[in-house]
Amino acid sequence: MLIEMDFNSNEALYIQLRNQVIIGIAKDMLKEGESLPSVRQMANELGVNMHTVNKAYASLRQDGYVKLDRRNGAVISVSLENRSGQVENIYSAMQMIVAQAICKNISLTELQEVVREMYLAFSPEVKED
């Protein structure tokens, strides 16, 4: 998986890395049990500080996307536990998106279409209801 960092972005580098790993999992580019590069290797490849990668990996672990193992490093392992907590997290994240859509006069239908298109882009095998 190719990870690209935008050094001119206002978004923190560790968040960029974290988000790209999650997108890679969603798009099935990163598979369950697959190891991510070591912190040192990833930092060298991306041209960032090792602490940046370490923080991204720790965030991925905390949010249930990877397990950290001293021998194997960061391994993709998506936790499906605490579904209600995950739904609450998604709700909180979507709250700001919906508020922005309302402020920018984007209709509910338009917003639903954007979400539908993104969902199908990540998981094209998913059947629509």
User: In this structure, what CATH number is given to the domain that contains residue 32?
Assistant: 1.10.10.10
Range of the domain at 24: 13-76
Q: What confidence category does residue 72 fall into, taking pLDDT thresholds of 50, 70 and 90?
A: confident
Domain annotation covers residue 1 = no
What does the pLDDT read at residue 123? 81
> What's at 26, amino acid-wise?
A
Q: How many domains does the chain have?
A: 2
Does 93 share its domain with 50? no
pTM for the predicted model, two decimal places? 0.83
Mean confidence (pLDDT) of the chain: 92
Does 66 share its domain with 109? no
CA nearest neighbour of 57 among 105, 109, 21, 94:
21
Does 21 share its domain with 39? yes
- pLDDT tens per residue, range 51-69: 999 999 999 999 999 999 8
Domain annotation covers residue 91 = yes
